[in-house]
Chain A
Amino acid sequence: MKMYRALAVRSILASGVVAAIVFILLVLFAPDAVPFSSNNYGWNGIQQISSHYHIAPVSSLVGLQPKHSVLLLLQPTLNYSQADASVVEQFVRGGGVVLVASSSDEANGLLQAIGTGVRVESQYAINDPTYNWKSSVLPTVLVLPGAAQEFGFLGGVNGIALNAPSPLLVQPGSPTKVVAISSPASREVNRSTTSLQGLLGGSTPVTIGSLPTVVAERIGNGSLIIAGDSQLFTNSVWTLADNQALARDLMANSTVYLDTSHWQPNTGEEVKAMLGSAYAVFSGIPLRYALVALFVGASIIIVPSFIELRTETKTEPRGIVSGQRTFNKEVIDRVRKDRERYGVQSE
């Protein structure tokens, strides 16, 4: 019985190790369907751009190095706290570039806390029958002449393909500068129905004319970019218009962070970010040595002790302990029948 327990413990440990390896491999490489996931090959994933530029998901905004870094805040689903806003602002002031790309309300708290004077009008979507890449609900917005002179990341970018973006409301006196607008023929439609037909023009336009869709501001040594759409770098959009040029200007030769801490919990990217954080923690000395020691210890525990078993089989006069050996089942059955039929001699 004792032997069996030892086997069970070893079995559980071995299973745990295999399961952990499988789990990590699945998280890192298995395709998924979560929006903005680097393993999502679908329309709303960022697998393609992730294969061009290294995008590191982060589960916390604290401790990011701003120099030559870009922080992507894509379609947050959770509100930003004051502390989050301070960290983001410090990141920008330290020389980093922050891209807030969202068509929903959750980014507004952050924008207000930083003092941008910009608000994402999430109740509306922009519909442009003229400048679009497939249909009026998928507009291409125009980068204003001269914007690239102030914001280098707009070099070579004349148009940005978007997907049902929300217009931005720039309050008077805001320090931000509008860098991209929709065309004069674009329409602002109500998004309340969230139906495709509504966006495609079924609902009455609220306004007609150019609307700000991307604004930017220099803060300290860095830049803050605000876009009314989060999908400009997703698989279905990022190769259109001049989005690739924008991605190149932003991400080439930069460390790119993707915030996962303001998405709903348990997304693949969040788990990946936590694995990355864990790796960063365990990479430090002396945890690294401790981990190796732990690993070796675990290996010693789960390695079956063949030597012990051999020693036990060599004690010839000893009784054969139940459960210690496995025999030919057919022979055992025959013996059992014989002993039942003819009786037992020496027991």
Chain B
Amino acid sequence: MKRDSQLVLESSIIGSLLIFIVLGGSFATLSVPREWSILVNPSSVPASQETNALSLYYNQTLSSLGTGHYSNVSLLLSTFRFVNIPSALNQTAETGNSQIALMNVSVPEAASDFRVAARLSSQSQFLNATAYAADGCQLAGQANMTLSDFKTSTVPELVSLGVPSQPYAIGLALTSDAISSLLATCAAFQPQSPYPAATLAIGSLQKSVETGGSVKLHGNLMLNGKGIASQTVFFYLNGTLIGSGSTNSSGGVGGTLTIPFVYEPVGVVQAFVATNQTAGFRGTSSNELNLLILFNGTQIVIGDPPAYLPTFSFSVHGNLTTAGGTPLPSAPVRVTFLNETRDTTTDSSGAFGAQFTVPADTRDGAYDVYAAFAPRGVYGPSFNFTSIQVTREPMEMIVKVSSLTLTGFSASVQGRLMANGTGVAGARVTVSSPWGSYQATSDSTGQYAVSVPTSLLDFTFSGSLTVSADPAQPYIASDQVLSNLSLFNLLIIVIPAIIVVAVGYGARSLGLLRGKEKFEQYATLPALKEATTDIEPLNLGMDAPKMVLLYLQTLRLAAEKFQLSFGRNQTLREIAAKISTVADQHGSAVCSQVLGTMEDFLYAQTFDGARVKEAEAHVAELQEMWKK
């Protein structure tokens, strides 16, 4: 009964705690505050892919384009993947997006060209103004063509897929207006004069020219099929005036002109003649003559710098000349070292220079420094390189790890950093462990100590530590050392011990260990063997109580005398009754005395040890009485 109470008590405590946890969690879940109750469960929201979404999207992009918010258009185009539309629309939508993207390039560029053209025109730079205006007109035309494609191809296709066009009608109208405005601007740049335009044509037998070299040009100025004499024709190369000439009686003009040192792949030669009211013609520009600029004859020489340590700066110098040794002035030269690039230009003597700093994280080794003649920003036909040697001082790491660490406690990692015979101060020492990374800084003598906390939940017997040191001085090489840490978790002992104790305690509480207690074994002795005629098999051992031995001796005497057997569940009283049916009155009484004493020994609240002596005498009497 008491054992039952104990089990009930234990179960109640554990059960109550679990109920409280569950109830507590339920309360926390049920009593949701307003701040959490406004949160929407996405599962409860019906999915919807609206075709209208694409219409709204186009309205946004086209409106932004039409109102000049080009960066917004780029943002919207780049984030189109987030627009929630049916997959059936994707292909057509992508086509529409491409068209909008094209317009988003051509429209702002055309507008920009027209602005520049207007400014140049106001500065009387007619040739360049004309070029910009022509470029703007071309871009405006492209934009108009793309818009036309969008209207005539993409829009009907979208309508057939169920995408309404009305929602983006406003955006489309804004874009149309913007492009129409560009086309109008283009028309405004067309020359208007009461005089007829002269015709100016130029040509050359040369297809190429070396930079800084000469080109032989010829041209003809005509009006209504007749040459115009004594007119000054100006020649430009890439917008720079390179010379002029006067037309002869037949309108012809020509000469050998020296081009400047240009460093672009193509030189565009164009001639221009101004309006001459006296002669009765409107000024005009000639056709464009494209000449390939040659850099074949260039060479670059670069000096060799010595070895350097990281963070140290060094200079590179060189010269750029033609093959014949003529310096190339103001020429672009690109010098590259690791990931750094310096764009410089040569001086009047063709010399150039650049300064670099060796990055702090550069490892030991040889590193090339490239110098290239770089017309128009690309690597040119001439390049050369040299190399510098980067060297760091090696660092010696001394690492000492505690021999055995109990998990849950901290392991000690300490040591010293040395370079060139002296301690390395201020170095950052990082210990990477399975439980995290920990850092320390070395002191002035290079000593360091790092405490690495280990996890109490780690049951391994060893751990790997990586100790790395990064010196504050970039010219000292970093280093790292691998080390093993011996571990032992006390929980390996404690937890099984708790389990064993708990299981033992529980088993004992439940009575599972009761059979090992000899006294209780004796209480059920009649059940141990069907016939207790032989004491030996019971194997009671030497420490069996005397009273038990006397009892068993009595049973054996009765069994042998009367050929009795005793059942498994017979009580002492029943045994006594059974013997009384076959024994005489005295023998039965003596036998009952022994069994009664045994009963008291087993079950009475108190038992007088002197009664064992009496039972011993009774057994002796029975032996005498029932001996064969």
A residues apposed to B, CB below 8 Å: 4, 7-8, 10-12, 14-19, 22-23, 26-27, 32-35, 43-44, 75-77, 102-106, 129-138, 140, 142, 144-145, 158-159, 163-164, 183-185, 191, 194, 196, 199-200, 230-231, 236-237, 241, 264, 266-268, 283, 285, 288, 292, 295, 299, 302-304, 306, 313-314, 316-320, 322-323, 325-328, 330-332, 334-335, 338, 342, 345-347
Contacts and interface: CB of A to CB of B under 8 A. Distances in A.
Given A44-B39, A142-B79, 5 more contacts: A12-B13, A158-B82, A266-B28, A304-B508, A330-B569
Nearest to B17: A19
B505 A14 contact: yes
Contacts of B60: 130, 183-185
A313 B518 contact: yes
B597 interface: yes
Contacts of A105: 35
B573 A342 contact: yes
A75 B604 contact: no
B517 A313 contact: yes
B82 to A, nearest CB: 4
A266 B33 CA distance: 13
A22 B502 CA distance: 14
B52 interface: yes
B64 to A, nearest CB: 8
B71 interface: yes
Given A14-B10, A15-B13, A145-B74, A196 B40 contact: yes
Interface stretch (B195-203, B423-431, B605-613): B605-613
B38 A35 contact: no
Given A283-B408, A299-B498, A130 B57 contact: yes
B523 interface: yes
- In the A-B complex, list the 9 residue pairs whose CB atoms are closest, starting with the nearest: A317-B609, A319-B606, A338-B573, A104-B35, A140-B82, A15-B13, A185-B56, A159-B82, A77-B33
Contacts of A327: 520, 523-524
A44 B42 CA distance: 9
B542 interface: no
B484 interface: no
Contacts of B64: 184
A303 B606 contact: no
Interface in B413-464: 453, 456
Contacts of A159: 79, 81-82
Looking at chain B's contact residues, is the secondary structure mostly helix, strand, loop, or mixed? helix
Nearest to B498: A299
Interface in B1-60: 2-3, 6, 9-10, 13-14, 17-18, 21, 24-25, 27-29, 31-48, 50, 52-53, 56-57, 59-60
B572 interface: yes
B83 interface: yes
Output the residue of B2, B25, B76, B504 with the most chain A CB within 10 A: B25
B58 to A, nearest CB: 10
A318 B519 CA distance: 12
Contacts of B611: 346
B545 interface: yes
B250 interface: no
B324 interface: no
Given A43-B43, A264-B31, A335 B604 contact: no
Interface residues of B, number: 98
B88 interface: no
Interface in B227-253: none
24 contacts: A8-B6, A11-B9, A12-B13, A14-B505, A15-B9, A35-B32, A44-B36, A75-B35, A130-B53, A132-B82, A134-B47, A134-B48, A140-B82, A142-B75, A158-B82, A159-B79, A163-B40, A266-B27, A285-B409, A304-B508, A319-B604, A328-B523, A331-B571, A346-B600
A252 to B, nearest CB: 14
A1 to B, nearest CB: 10
Interface of B: 2-3, 6, 9-10, 13-14, 17-18, 21, 24-25, 27-29, 31-48, 50, 52-53, 56-57, 59-60, 63-64, 71-72, 74-76, 78-79, 81-84, 408-409, 453, 456, 490, 494, 497-498, 501-502, 504-505, 508-509, 511, 514, 517-520, 523-524, 527, 543, 545-547, 569, 571-574, 596-597, 599-600, 602-609, 611
A134 B571 contact: no
Contacts of B605: 319-320, 322, 347
A132 B84 CA distance: 6
Nearest to A298: B498
Contact of B75 (A76, A145, A328): A145
A164 B13 contact: no
Contact of B56 (A15, A129, A164, A303): A129
Contact of B502 (A18, A191, A345): A18
A22 B17 contact: yes
Contacts of A19: 13-14, 17
Given A325-B519, A346-B604, A331 B524 contact: yes
Nearest to A231: B39
Nearest to B502: A14
A299 B42 contact: no
A254 B225 CA distance: 81
B172 to A, nearest CB: 16
Contacts of B78: 158
Contacts of A302: 501, 505
B226 to A, nearest CB: 59
B520 A163 contact: no
A12 B9 contact: yes
Contact of A241 (B32, B82, B519): B82
Nearest to B595: A345
A299 B28 CA distance: 35
Contact of A335 (B40, B82, B603): B603
A105 B29 CA distance: 21
B50 A15 contact: no
B29 A236 contact: no
Contacts of A267: 28
Contacts of B517: 313, 325
A15 B16 CA distance: 11
B214 to A, nearest CB: 49
Nearest to A42: B41
Contact of B35 (A44, A76, A142): A76
A335 B572 contact: yes
A191 B409 CA distance: 53
B39 A288 contact: no
Nearest to B505: A304
A214 B494 CA distance: 51
A295 B236 CA distance: 96
A319 B607 contact: yes
A321 to B, nearest CB: 8
A182 B167 CA distance: 19
Contacts of A288: 408-409
Output the residue of A15, A196, A306, A322 with the most chain B CB within 10 A: A15
A229 to B, nearest CB: 9
